[in-house]
Chain A
C-alpha cells in the first residue's frame, strides 16, 4: 500500500499531527500563543487546499471500508474547515497568552473529529469521531474558566453524554440486529428483518442525534451553552459541531435506516415543524443576543430537518423536470437544499458569533452587566462600524433576504418540499422566515437606531479580518449561487441509490 493511496485523507492526518505539535511546542516555548495561532491557521488553510483538491471525488473507501471520501464528506469538511479557520483567525486577537496552545490544539482536534464523522460509513468510526469532537468542545466550552463558562460546559457535557449514551445504545441494537457495523450491511439487515428492535434503535438514534442537532424538544442545552461558553467557541458549536450532527444523521438515517422511512418521515415532519416554530417564537422574547442567535440556530435546524421529511416522502421517486436542472429527483433536491442551508448558516452564524465575541470582549471591561445583553448593542454602528455593518448583513442573510447566502438554501429546500407534496411544510417554513425577521430586526434597530451606549470601541484585527472574510463569503454565495447549487446536488447524490 503506497503512501499516496491515502492522499484524500492527508488533510485529517496533517491536522492531527499539527494538533499534537501545537501542544508539544506550547509546553516547550513560553509566550508562544501568537505563533500557535498562525500555525493552526496555516494548517487549516493547507487542509482546506488538500480537501479542495478532491472536491467531487468518486466515493473511495479506506481502512476496511469504514471511511468513505466522497462528495458529501468533502462538502462537510469544507464547511468545518472554513468555520474552524474563521474561528482561529478571530481567536488570534483573544488567545495570545498562556493556554493558547491548548486552545488551538483542542480546536484542531475538534475539527479532525468532525471531519472523521463526515467520512464515516461505519457506526464505530462515527462514534469515535463524534466523541473526539464532543470531548474537545466540552473542554473548549469551559475554556475561559468563568462561572458562566463552567455552567455552560457542565450542561453541555451532561446533555452531550446522555445523547451519546442514547446514540450508542441505538448503535448496539443495530449491531445486534445486523451483525455488522457497516452502514450498508445495517441497511440490508434492517430491510430483511424489520422488527421492534429496529424501531427502538431508530428511536434512540433520533434522540441521540436530535440532541446534537438541537431539535425541539432536545434543544434545552443549546441556548444555555451558546450563551455561557466563550463566544468564539459558541461559533464553533453552532456552526461546526451542530452540523456534524446533521452529517451523522444523514448517513445513519438516510442510508442505514432507509427501510424505516415511513416511521422517521412522520417523526421528522413533526420535529421540523415544531422546531422551527418554537425556535423562532422563543427568539422573539430573548434579551441576550447570544440567546437570540441560539434560538435562531434552533429554528434553522428545523428548516434543515425538512430534508428528512422530503426524502421520506419522495424516496426513489422518478426524476422529474423540476427547476431548470433537467430531470432531477425531489429527494436529491431536498438534501441539496439542506446542504446549501448548512453551508450558508455555518458562515452566517460564525460571523454573527464572532461579532458578539468582539462586543463582549470590549464591553465586559466597562460594565458589570451581562456583556451579551442587547442593550450593549445600542448604537453599535457608531461604536464599532465595521462589526455593526457585518452583523447587519448577517442578520439579513439569516432572515433569508436575497441576494445573500441565506436565501439560496431556503429556496432550494422549500422548493423540494413543494415538489414532494409537502406544501404545508413549505408554507409554514416561509411564514417562519418572516417571523424570524422580527428578532433580527430588533438587533439591527438596536445597532443602528439607538443612541450609543458608550465610547467607540477598538475593533481588534483578528476579529475584523474574520468578519470581513465571512461577509465576502456570504455575499459571494448569494450573488453567484449556481456553482454551489451544482456542488450540493453532487454531494446529495452520495446519500441516494443511483
Chain B
C-alpha cells in the first residue's frame, strides 16, 4: 500500500513541469519520466484498488484554511479512478507522440504535464474548493497550448476557449457557494466537502426544491459546457481546429471528461431531488448532441473538425446514459467516457499526422494515402472503426451498454438516437476514411512517406488498449459498476421518481 498515493500522483507531474521548463531541449526526457511514474503509480493503485468497495479509497485529508472550512481532501472511487487511469495513460502517449516537437519544447512539455496535474486534481478532489481550483488550473495550460502552438486563428480560439469555459465555471462557482452558504454541519461549521454537501441536498428542509433547482441548473451548465453538449459546444470546434495535435488530444481525451465526471459525481446524486423536468431537458440535450454532432461531422471538409464534431456526438452518449439512470446505462456512460478518451486520441493524432505529413487536412484534397503509408493507414482505419463502434473494440461495448440501458427508461429518445445517428456515424467515418486514405493515389502525394515511429507507436498502443477493453471490458467496468450501484442505491429509479 502506497501512502499519499494521490498526492504523489498530482505532485510528480507538477515537479516534472517545473523541471522540464528548465530542461531546455532535454525537456521531452524529463516529461516522459515525469509522466511514466504516475502511470506506474496508477497501475499499482489499480492492483490495490478494492473493486467491490463503495467507499472512497486512498483518502487523504488535511486542513488547509480551517476558518473557511477549506480542506485538502482527495480520494478515489469507481467514478474517479478509471479517469485517473485514463489521464495517466493518455499523458504518456501524448508526450511520446509529441517527441519531435521543436518549437519551445521546454514550455510545450511543461504545459502538457501541468494539464495532467489539473485533470488528475479534478478527478480526485473531494473538496469543492480544491475541485474548483483544479478545474480552473486546467484552463491555463490549454490556453497557452492553443495560443502559442496553434493554427492561424489561434489567438481568437484561445481567448474564446478561455472566456467560454471560464464563464461556465463561474456559474458553477456560484452554485458551489450556494451549497456552501446554505448548509451548516451539525456543529454549526461550514464545509466544502463534496460528499457531505451532496448528501445534504436530499434534505428538503435545508434545500427546498425551488432553490435546489437553481443550484442544480447552474452546476449542470458548468458541466455541459465542458462536455460540451449542444447548444454550448461552439467553443469546441474552434479550439480543436486551432490547437496543436497534442492540445487537441488532451482537450478531447481528458478535458471533456471533466464535464462527464461532474455529471456522475455531482449531478446524479442531486437528480432525484430536483424538478422532474430536468430529466427530460437533459435527455433532449443528449439526443440533440448525438444526432447533431453526427450530422455536423458528416458535413465537415476538415478532417480535424470532423473528429471534433464526432466528440460532441460521442459525449452525448455519456449524457444520455447518465440521465437514463439505470445501472446498465450509467455503467455504460462511465465506460463511454473511458473508451472515448482513448479512441479519440488516435483520431486526433491521425488528423495531426496527416496535416504535417501531407500539409493539408481538407478531406477533398486527400486521396490514396494508404498507398504510401500503409502502416499508418491500418492504424487509422482501426481507430476509425473503433470510433464508429465496431464490435470487439471498446466503443461498441460502451455505446451498446448505454443504448440497451437507456431503452428501459427512455425508449423514445433511444430510438431516435438509434435511427438517426448509428448510420450517420458509420457514414462520416467511412466516407472520410475512404476519401482520404483509399482510392487511386494523387500524383502530388507520390513522395509522401510513413510518419515517425513514435507517432505510430503511440497510436498503435491506443488501438491495443481499445481492443483489450473491447474484449475484456470487465477490467474496468467492474469498478464502474460498483460506482453506478453506489450512485443509484440511495435514490429511486426514474419510474419511482414519476418521470416515466
- What is the bound-complex CA distance between A199 and B177, given in angstroms? 38
Known A323-B67, A449-B148; further 12 A-B contacts with Cβ < 8 A: A321-B189, A325-B67, A403-B133, A415-B68, A434-B166, A445-B155, A445-B158, A445-B159, A449-B147, A450-B155, A482-B65, A485-B65
- What is the bound-complex CA distance between A411 and B176, given in angstroms? 13
Interface residues of B in 144-189 (CB under 8 A from A): 144, 147-148, 154-155, 158-159, 162-163, 166-167, 170, 173-174, 177, 181, 184, 188-189
B450 at interface, CB cutoff 8 A: no
Interface residues of A in 321-349 (CB under 8 A from B): 321-325
* 25 A–B pairs (Cβ distance < 8 Å), ordered by A: A321-B188, A321-B189, A322-B190, A323-B67, A323-B69, A324-B66, A324-B67, A324-B189, A324-B190, A396-B140, A403-B133, A411-B68, A415-B68, A418-B181, A419-B181, A430-B170, A431-B170, A434-B167, A437-B166, A449-B147, A449-B154, A450-B155, A481-B68, A482-B66, A482-B67
A176 at interface, CB cutoff 8 A: no
Smallest Cβ-Cβ distance to A419: which chain B residue = B181
Report, as a range, how many residues of chain A touch the other chain: 20 to 34
Assuming the A-B contacts A324-B189, A448-B148, A449-B158, are A441 and B163 also in contact, with contact meaning beta carbons closer than 8 angstroms in the complex?
yes
Bitwise, A421-450 to B at CB < 8 A (1) or not (0) is 000000100110110011001000100111
- What is the bound-complex CA distance between A361 and B339, given in angstroms? 55
- What is the bound-complex CA distance between A427 and B175, given in angstroms? 11
A78 at interface, CB cutoff 8 A: no
Interface residues of A in 463-498 (CB under 8 A from B): 481-482, 485-486
Smallest Cβ-Cβ distance to B136: which chain A residue = A401
Assuming the A-B contacts A427-B174, A438-B163, are A486 and B147 also in contact, with contact meaning beta carbons closer than 8 angstroms in the complex?
no
B221 to chain A, nearest CB (A): 14
Chain B residues touching A, majority SS: helix
Which residues from B are CB-within-8-Å of A441?
159, 162-163
B217 to chain A, nearest CB (A): 15
A402 at interface, CB cutoff 8 A: yes
- What is the bound-complex CA distance between A450 and B147, given in angstroms? 9
- What is the bound-complex CA distance between A450 and B150, given in angstroms? 12
- What is the bound-complex CA distance between A415 and B174, given in angstroms? 12
- What is the bound-complex CA distance between A323 and B189, given in angstroms? 6
Assuming the A-B contacts A445-B155, A448-B147, are A486 and B170 also in contact, with contact meaning beta carbons closer than 8 angstroms in the complex?
no
Which residues from B are CB-within-8-Å of A321?
184, 188-189
- What is the bound-complex CA distance between A430 and B170, given in angstroms? 8
Which residues from B are CB-within-8-Å of A482?
65-67
- What is the bound-complex CA distance between A402 and B177, given in angstroms? 15
Whether B181 contacts A415 by the Cβ 8 Å rule is yes
**Interface size counted on chain B using CB atoms at 8 A:** 30
- What is the bound-complex CA distance between A411 and B65, given in angstroms? 12
Smallest Cβ-Cβ distance to B162: which chain A residue = A441
Of all A-B residue pairs in the complex, the 8 with the closest CB atoms, nearest first, are: A321-B188, A449-B147, A324-B189, A434-B170, A325-B67, A324-B69, A402-B133, A485-B67
For A430, give its contact among B132, B147, B174, B190 (CB under 8 Å).
B174
Which residues from B are CB-within-8-Å of A322?
190
- What is the bound-complex CA distance between A445 and B162, given in angstroms? 11
For B68, give its contact among A323, A403, A427 (CB under 8 Å).
A323
Which residues from B are CB-within-8-Å of A415?
68, 181
A190 to chain B, nearest CB (A): 34
Q: Which of B69, B133, B155, B177 has the largest count of A CB atoms less than 10 A from its CB? A: B177
B81 to chain A, nearest CB (A): 26
- What is the bound-complex CA distance between A271 and B16, given in angstroms? 47
A192 to chain B, nearest CB (A): 39
Which residues from A are CB-within-8-Å of B166?
434, 437
Bitwise, B198-234 to A at CB < 8 A (1) or not (0) is 0000000000000000000000000000000000000
Q: Which residues of B contact A (CB under 8 A)?
A: 65-69, 129, 132-133, 136, 140, 144, 147-148, 154-155, 158-159, 162-163, 166-167, 170, 173-174, 177, 181, 184, 188-190
Which residues from A are CB-within-8-Å of B174?
427, 430
Whether A485 contacts B68 by the Cβ 8 Å rule is yes
- What is the bound-complex CA distance between A486 and B162, given in angstroms? 35
Smallest Cβ-Cβ distance to A325: which chain B residue = B67
Q: Which of A321, A323, A325, A485 has the largest count of B CB atoms less than 10 A from its CB? A: A323
Smallest Cβ-Cβ distance to B146: which chain A residue = A449
Which residues from A are CB-within-8-Å of B184?
321
A411 to chain B, nearest CB (A): 7
Q: Which of B66, B69, B148, B181 has the largest count of A CB atoms less than 10 A from its CB? A: B181
- What is the bound-complex CA distance between A51 and B388, given in angstroms? 70
Which residues from A are CB-within-8-Å of B144?
448-449
- What is the bound-complex CA distance between A162 and B129, given in angstroms? 46
Whether B181 contacts A449 by the Cβ 8 Å rule is no
- What is the bound-complex CA distance between A403 and B137, given in angstroms? 10
A179 to chain B, nearest CB (A): 43
- What is the bound-complex CA distance between A47 and B67, given in angstroms? 31
Which residues from B are CB-within-8-Å of A396?
140
Which residues from A are CB-within-8-Å of B177?
418, 430
Which residues from B are CB-within-8-Å of A412?
68
Which residues from B are CB-within-8-Å of A433?
170
For B155, give its contact among A411, A419, A438, A449 (CB under 8 Å).
A449
- What is the bound-complex CA distance between A450 and B158, given in angstroms? 12
- What is the bound-complex CA distance between A431 and B184, given in angstroms? 25
Smallest Cβ-Cβ distance to B140: which chain A residue = A396
B172 to chain A, nearest CB (A): 11
Which residues from B are CB-within-8-Å of A434?
166-167, 170
B175 to chain A, nearest CB (A): 11
- What is the bound-complex CA distance between A325 and B65, given in angstroms? 11
Smallest Cβ-Cβ distance to B189: which chain A residue = A324
Interface residues of A in 380-425 (CB under 8 A from B): 396, 401-403, 408, 411-412, 415, 418-419
A218 to chain B, nearest CB (A): 30
A377 to chain B, nearest CB (A): 14
Which residues from B are CB-within-8-Å of A401?
136
- What is the bound-complex CA distance between A193 and B184, given in angstroms? 43
A248 to chain B, nearest CB (A): 28
B10 to chain A, nearest CB (A): 14
- What is the bound-complex CA distance between A434 and B171, given in angstroms? 10
- What is the bound-complex CA distance between A434 and B136, given in angstroms? 12
- What is the bound-complex CA distance between A408 and B67, given in angstroms? 11
Which residues from B are CB-within-8-Å of A323?
67-69, 189-190
B18 to chain A, nearest CB (A): 12
Which residues from B are CB-within-8-Å of A450?
155
Which residues from A are CB-within-8-Å of B136?
401-402
Interface residues of A in 284-338 (CB under 8 A from B): 321-325
A430 to chain B, nearest CB (A): 6
- What is the bound-complex CA distance between A436 and B68, given in angstroms? 24
Smallest Cβ-Cβ distance to B148: which chain A residue = A449
A474 to chain B, nearest CB (A): 16
Smallest Cβ-Cβ distance to B171: which chain A residue = A434
- What is the bound-complex CA distance between A324 and B63, given in angstroms? 12
- What is the bound-complex CA distance between A187 and B174, given in angstroms? 39
